[in-house]
Amino acid sequence: MKLTVLGCSGGIGSGRHTTCLMVDDDVLIDAGSGLTTLEFAQLARIDHVFLTHAHLDHVLGLPLLLDSVGDRRGTPVTVHALPAVLDTLSDHLFNWKLWPDFRTIPSSDAPWLRFAALDFGVAVTLAGRTFRPLPANHVVPACALHVSTAAGGLVFSGDTTHSLALIDALNAIPDLRHLLIETSFENALVDVAKASKHHWPESLAAELAALTVRPRVWITHLKPGNEAAIMNELHAAVPEWGVAALVQGQVIELG
């Protein structure tokens, strides 16, 4: 399994794109502006999208994906997300006001889009790759995602702040090889981080101290212009972990 980072920034500008990760060539995790970096033929191969939550920086590419390649496909794109996230997409995105409801285009019997609810404790397996939602703690309903193969697993935190439930879930994955986890603000902006339920270096340091597993740790969702400050504070707080910033275009392979 190959995971390609299409976007991993907490914002846009100067070549930055928001969160979108591609698993092999047919599955996306989140659909931020990183999705727009794909070629047309690559867009048409996307069969499944797993969403961590419904915030715009994680879903903005989804309606454009459907509009671009829906007529080139023989099957609908399936969006997997928590029920509350799917409700938000129905009410506020695919509502015929902000965007057409592609669950009924060109017809309800042959749509370009379908929803599939994710449930905690239930995994979805696609061609030998298993996707499992894990708890997260954000200002809207959200989940992390555990992606596993026979060669091991990785976890993408999505947007989250301190979550004891997520720590427990990570510690229960003995073959966890990679942890992609957000840190959005430097320590000086702790009040903003707390209000928006994002990590800052001191909070992530506490999270890592509670882990009994030892994955490679990659930092995502760094706010534009703050990247160097955040990473410097992380390196000072957890030098033993060797954390590194996730980079657009990076490839992580499992097996």
Annotated active-site residue in 24, 30, 57, 101: 57
Is 142:53 a contact under the CB 8 Å cutoff?
A: yes
Cα–Cα distance between 108 and 127 in angstroms, integer? 27
Cα–Cα distance between 255 and 105 in angstroms, integer? 38
Report the SS3 class of residue 204: helix
Kindly give the pairing relationship between strand 27-29 and strand 48-50. parallel
Active site residue 57: yes
Measured CA distances, 102 to 96, 106, 117, 234 (Å):
9, 7, 17, 42
120 phi/psi in degrees, rounded to 5:
-60, 135
Give the residue numbers marked as catalytic. Answer: 57
